[in-house]
Amino acid sequence: MGAGVMGSGIAQVAATAGHEVVVCTRSAESVQRAQRGLRAALQRAAERDYLKEDPDVIFARISWHTDLAAAASAGVVIESVPENLALKQEIFRRLGEVCDSTAMLASNTSQLPITQLAAVTPAPERVVGTHFFSPVPARPLCEVVRGEKTSDATVQRARNFVAGLGKSSIVIERDTPGFVTTRLMAVLVMEAARLWESGIASAQDIDLACRLGFGHRMGPLETADLAGVDTMVDVADGLYAHFREPVFAVPESVRAMVAAGRRGRKSGAGFYTYEEPR
């Protein structure tokens, strides 16, 4: 459910692993945009010899729809829409109505409580969090999040599915906002933004310090641009609202950046400037 950066990425890795994939999104325009992006991503992967099959064969495993009813026969359903609790609950309510009684219902949320999503379904024991990372094809980790009523069988089913995609998983045993990685990354990104805002160091040098000093593959500000600066603001705001910890407070300069349309790679500019949006 959802055909943005994350939803398309999950569809790509699932189809590459041999699954028949049903993508549901809100409009024909969203379908066309996602199809263009996914074709380009598969072509890049093929050019780098990352694929064992022709990209057209993988793409053919994916069907595209604008009605959630298309998910009726799916065994594994993964929701990946914007981080809005009411929106996600409405989707899970609908999935609970149309999906098979044996389907695993999963959310790619990075911070919202799985328990609150499960509560609107008829079988909360079959609801679990599967938090993938961006870009999905390149990131080998997935957080599997247990809600209050998620069964052991569902957690294991989620881990088996993730392993089948070629990824490792960790289990979040307590359904708390931000889980593990989002809380850690939000603290690092917001502190890096404060260093940048105060003029202590440039974005380039802050990121270089994290890559060379800590062995990170990407610096925190590069990561924010890739994930979406607006997304990081929403995440940090959600964590601050729950925990009231100043480490999650968003610097005003970052809010101004988002207000000015500098949302990261997808808009062509964020902490860095890019030749063209992605």
Under the banding of pLDDT at 50, 70 and 90, the label for residue 186 is very high
**pTM for this model (two decimals):** 0.86
Whether residue 173 is predicted with pLDDT greater than 70 in this model: the reply is yes
Under the banding of pLDDT at 50, 70 and 90, the label for residue 83 is confident
Q: Which CATH fold would you assign to the domain 181-267? A: N-(1-d-carboxylethyl)-l-norvaline Dehydrogenase; domain 2 (1.10.1040)
Under the banding of pLDDT at 50, 70 and 90, the label for residue 174 is very high
Structure tokens at 195: 């260093």
Under the banding of pLDDT at 50, 70 and 90, the label for residue 227 is confident
- Could you tell me whether strands 141-146 and 127-131 are parallel, antiparallel, or unpaired per DSSP bridges? antiparallel
Whether residue 277 is predicted with pLDDT greater than 70 in this model: the reply is no
pLDDT for 135: 87
Catalogue the long-range contacts made by 201-209 (C-beta closer than 8 Å, 24 or more residues apart). Answer: 203/271, 203/272
For the chain, the average pLDDT equals 95
pLDDT for 5: 87
Q: Which helix (H) or strand (E) holds 223?
A: helix 220-227
pLDDT for 146: 97
Whether residue 69 is predicted with pLDDT greater than 70 in this model: the reply is yes
Whether residue 190 is predicted with pLDDT greater than 80 in this model: the reply is yes
Q: What is the DSSP letter of 248?
A: G
Each domain of the chain, given as residue ranges in start order, spans 5-172, 181-267
Structure tokens at 48: 């780098």
Whether residue 278 is predicted with pLDDT greater than 90 in this model: the reply is no
Could you read off the pLDDT of 114-144 as tens digits, one per residue?
999 999 999 999 999 999 998 899 999 999 9
For residues 100 and 74, the answer to whether their CB atoms sit within 8 Å is: yes
Structure tokens at 4: 């943005």
Under the banding of pLDDT at 50, 70 and 90, the label for residue 218 is very high
Q: Is the CATH number 3.40.50.720 carried by domain 5-172?
A: yes
80-105 average pLDDT score: 95
Percent of the chain with pLDDT over 90: 91
Under the banding of pLDDT at 50, 70 and 90, the label for residue 275 is confident
Tell me the C-alpha to C-alpha distance, in Å, between residue 42 and each of 49, 59, 165: 10, 8, 16
pLDDT for 111: 86
